[in-house]
Structure 1
Amino acid sequence: MFGAEGATGREVVRQALALGHRVRASDLTLQAPEPFPETVEAIPADVLNDDLRPVVRGMDAVISCLGVSNHPTTLLDPPPLYVDGTARIVEAMQAEGVRRIVVISASFVVAKDRGPILFRTAVIPSLTRVLDQMRGMEALLRVSGLDWTAVRPGWLMPGEPTADAWIGPDVIPADLIRTRIGDLAALLLDCAVNGSWSRATPAIARDEPDFEESSTKVVLEMLA
């Protein structure tokens, strides 16, 4: 999997190991304070510049948790991870004969009317360039010839996987906005392992306490 050192990537690795899967994890440096367990095959790789064939070689499926931070400077000029990075992963998979890929997109690529008013008028516009990249990534996957899935969560928050997350086609319901990282990781794994939502864009969210869904909470997270 790619983007293994991010919060979602780490959770995917944790859940995959708990289910007994063989895991190969990759990120730019793999120098996080908490190392991966010895059972994880860790391969540092820059998705924009390095040869990615060794990362995907022999794998049954690839999960990409590539993403960018919410820092304002990054949002104004995000690195081309979603389009260029995914394109290079796809090329490596095609060369190695690996067919299944699951990536993280966002419900907000198709719906900008979710969440409280401040979120719609301030946060969503700040994500324009990132969301444009996600749309490009989804378009790339549609013509790739691979067996792909692009999972579309809402605004991510920490949290263990639950048994009551809403999962449906394309976009989260209008009255929801948050997605737990644990729930997202579980759906990514289900899609990769069981072939769920093939060539589709499942959305996932969960009804959370009011403060977690408030504009105040979201803005504080962006400023952290």
Structure 2
Amino acid sequence: MWVTFCPDGQIIDWLTYGSGHVQILIVNGQDLISTAEYRYDALGRRIQKRSKHHHTGGEHNIIYRWDGDTLAYESNEQITKHYIYEKDSFVPLVQAVYAEEIELHQTPDWADKSYSLQRDPLWKVAKTAKDFKDFWFYHCDYLGTPQEMTDHTGAVIWKAEYKAWGECKAEIAKSNFFENSEIISNNIRFQGQYFDEETGLHYNRYRYYSPYVGRFISKDPIGLSGGG
């Protein structure tokens, strides 16, 4: 396994070798399984994840956008998910989804021309908002960890069971109404944590947490001032 960190402790690159549930087993230092590349904004929030499985050739590109310290939405080529939380907390309430990637403003290149307020898309009239395909409602335990999600009929479409340190030991997703049940998912775990399938780690905004050992694997950016 090869992990590259940037100076503030965030993971930039993650290479895994061999096989296994967590995909961290090294077999002769060869047989590369997957690569993942993460990108962050100036505040250290992860804004993109690109991964490739070298056996199947499958590639995934996900973008993330934030509302302060909470994840506002994520989007890939199949689906866009917007997240709504309890006030002033990381406890999720709703996933609002539609089955296509998000449409962003194009950023003009002003390198060879003068800036024009009239041509800047950010100052133009906003586009018509897209209608959501569905709303999925979270049911969390007293710690704020998602246990189930239901659709607009009240039917359970996703449920999970966890071990003591947050590892998901069982996960089920099914819907009679949404056309593609395979894209029903929830990666939110303990409050403020987001599960990464390619590493098995939980992204916790400023650092990464391993639910298999119950420890953070990257340093706290506040250092000793944080008490550890």
TM-score (ref. length: structure 1)? 0.28
Structure with more strand by fraction: 2
Greater helix share, structure number: 1
Larger radius of gyration: 2
* RCO comparison, higher one (Cα < 8 Å, 6+): 1
